[in-house]
């Protein structure tokens, strides 16, 4: 069968539309159901649709469809191709940081702590710290991480001394008092002071009305303001932000901080990871390669990232 230049016009049209949606995803309406955020949460998975279109074009032997598929391929590579590049060699002024929502239903916190120690991080940020698991983490991590701070349900463990510990108020007005999911401390690293923030933004839900992310977005705005006001030049943010870096709901953070340059590190849900909502971001520093670590007793996978200080 010959390649046909006439057939496959519907496939070609779909490819052009897909390329346009990917390239101009910020233009997707957001007012109703936060559809824009929902799309952006799974934007990398548009690659699956591109592969499907490519297969259909090959099966149909449609030249016009095959050429049209090159448009979304080019957009996807522009958006995400850099994440596929290798990690590269370790840098001289580099910290390894680990981020993990350990889950308040974790049945084996001791094993989770051992897995985190094995990652060899300089900093470890944990969320969903509740009694009695908290004491298990404190005891298990103490030898490897002699310095730590916990406020509310979030904490930071460090191989380097900490100071200036305080709560970061990221509670949206509609959430009851007693909700505390933000902490800040200054890390006395060999490369100078680093303001480390650990945060756990409110959860989002997908329902008939779309993406319910209003509280998450409000919390991100409060956290962004706190980081903007931070007097220490170098900042590292670690946390379960309940959003991907493409999600416009995290703009108050991604507009101020660098995000990972290498690696997808899909971290949630642990059983079938579809998105990275566990993030490492930085100011006056570069977040290099980010990767997932083996599963623990949590519904999130831990992530580890290499942060190169400026």
Show the tokens assigned to 47: 């690659």
> Residue 2: pLDDT above 60?
no
Domain count, the chain: 2
Same domain flag for 301 and 214: yes
Whichever domain contains 121, its CATH number is 3.60.10.10
Same domain assignment for residues 58 and 106: no
Same domain, 79 and 205: no
Q: How far, in Å, CA of 293 to CA of 304, rounded?
A: 7
Task: Give tens-digit pLDDT for 34-56.
Answer: 899 999 999 999 999 999 999 99
Contacts of 150 (CB under 8 A, 6+ apart): 129, 134, 138, 156, 183
Whether 144 and 34 share a structural domain = no
Query: Which residue range(s) make up the domain with 221?
Result: 94-309
* CA atoms lying within 13 Å on the CB side of residue 272: 0
Does the residue 149 lie in any domain?
yes
- Regarding whether 171 and 300 lie in a shared domain, the answer is yes
**Contact (CB, 8 A) for 145 and 157:** yes
State how far the Cα of 39 lies from the Cα of 192, in Å rounded to an integer.
39
The answer to whether position 1 is within a domain reads no
Task: Collect all residues with Cβ–Cβ distance below 8 Å to 50 and sequence separation of at least 6.
Answer: 15, 18, 69, 72, 73, 76
**pLDDT tens column, 187-229:** 999 999 999 999 999 999 887 667 889 999 999 999 999 999 9
Helix (H) or strand (E) run with residue 282 in it? strand 278-283
Reported as a pLDDT band with limits 50, 70 and 90, residue 86 is confident
Residues 60 and 188 in one domain: no
* Domain stop point among 60, 84, 108: 84
What are the counts of helices (DSSP H) followed by strands (DSSP E) for the chain?
Answer: 8, 13
Please state, in angstroms and rounded to a whole number, the distance separating the CA atoms of residues 9 and 227. 50
């Amino acid at each position: 069968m010959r390649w046909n230049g006439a057939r496959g016009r519907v496939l070609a049209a779909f490819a052009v539309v897909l390329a346009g949606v990917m390239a101009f995803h910020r233009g997707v309406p957001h007012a109703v159901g936060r559809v824009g955020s929902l799309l952006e949460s799974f934007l990398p998975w548009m690659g699956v649709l591109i592969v499907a279109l490519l297969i259909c074009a090959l099966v149909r032997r449609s030249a016009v469809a095959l050429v049209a598929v090159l448009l979304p391929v080019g957009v996807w590579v522009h958006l995400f191709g850099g994440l596929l590049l290798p990690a590269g060699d370790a840098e001289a002024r580099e910290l390894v940081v680990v981020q993990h929502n350990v889950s308040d239903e974790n049945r084996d916190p001791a094993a989770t702590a051992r897995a985190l120690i094995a990652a060899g991080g300089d900093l470890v940020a944990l969320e969903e710290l509740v009694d009695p698991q908290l004491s298990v983490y404190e005891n298990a991590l103490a030898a490897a991480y002699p310095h730590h701070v916990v406020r509310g349900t979030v904490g930071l463990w460090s191989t380097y001394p900490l100071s200036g510990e305080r709560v970061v108020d990221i509670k949206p007005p509609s959430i009851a008092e007693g909700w505390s999911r933000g902490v800040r401390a200054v890390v006395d690293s060999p490369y100078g002071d680093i303001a480390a923030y650990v945060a756990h933004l409110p959860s989002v839900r997908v329902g008939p009305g779309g993406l319910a992310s209003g509280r998450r977005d409000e919390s991100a705005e409060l956290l962004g303001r706190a980081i903007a006001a931070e007097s220490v030049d170098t900042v590292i943010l670690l946390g379960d932000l309940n959003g991907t870096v493409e999600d416009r709901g995290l703009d108050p953070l991604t507009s101020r901080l660098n995000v990972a340059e290498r690696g997808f590190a899909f971290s949630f849900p642990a059983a079938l990871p579809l998105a990275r909502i566990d993030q490492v971001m930085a100011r006056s520093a570069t977040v290099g390669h980010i990767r997932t670590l083996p599963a623990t007793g949590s519904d999130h996978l831990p992530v580890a990232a290499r942060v190169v200080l400026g």
